[in-house]
Homo-oligomer: A and B are copies of this chain.
Amino acid sequence: MKDLRILVTGGTIDKVHDPRTEGLSFSPDGATHLPEMLRIARCHFPVVQLLMLKDSLYFDDADRASIAKAVEDAPEPCVVITHGTGTMGETARFLAPLVGDKTVVLTGAMRPFSLYASDGEFNLGGAVVAAQMLAPGVWGVMNGRVFAAEALNKNVEQGRFDA
C-alpha cells in the first residue's frame, strides 16, 4: 500500500453556494471539503494539504509552478491533485515533464460536493485508487475513466470527461 497525498487547489469540487449572489464561490473561511469527503468515504490514510482555493480558469503559470513545487516537495510517491475542470488538462500537460518518478492524478467535479448529488466522491474514489496503481507520470481520473495528460479534456457539451 503506497502512501498518498492529496493537494487541494480549489475548483468546482470545493465550491459552495453563495446565497447573496446565487453563484458559486469558495468558503469564506478558506476551508476545503476534502477531509469531510474522506471521512464519509471511510478513507483514513491520505494526507491532505491545502495549497490554494482557486477557480482553475484563473490559474496562471505561477499557480502551476507552485503546484509543481508542492508535488516535488511531497514525501509520498503518489499525489492526487483536486483541480477545477476548466483547465485541468492544461495543468496536467504543464506538470508532465516536471514530476520525476512520482505518480500524479488530477481530479475534480462538475458539481460541487457541498451541493450533494455531486460526481466529486466518485471521481475522488477513482483518483485515490488510480494513484496507487498507475506508473509514474501525470494522469487524470474523471467520471470513471483514466486519461493520460495529453488526452485530458472536458467534453463541455456533455458536461463530463469522456473518451
Contacts and interface: CB of A to CB of B under 8 A. Distances in A.
Contacts of A22: 12, 15, 23-24
Contact of A121 (B20, B115, B125, B133): B125
Contacts of A122: 37, 40-41, 43, 121-122, 124-125, 128
A65 interface: no
Contacts of A24: 17, 22-23
A103 interface: no
Task: Give the contact-size bracket for chain A.
Answer: 35 or more
A33 interface: no
Interface string A120-162: 0111111111101110000001011110000000001001100
Contact of A144 (B15, B23, B129, B163): B129
A17 B111 contact: yes
A79 interface: no
Given A125-B122, A125-B125, A19 B144 contact: no
Interface of A: 1, 12, 15, 17, 19-20, 22-24, 37-38, 40-46, 110-112, 114-119, 121-130, 132-134, 141, 143-146, 156, 159-160, 163
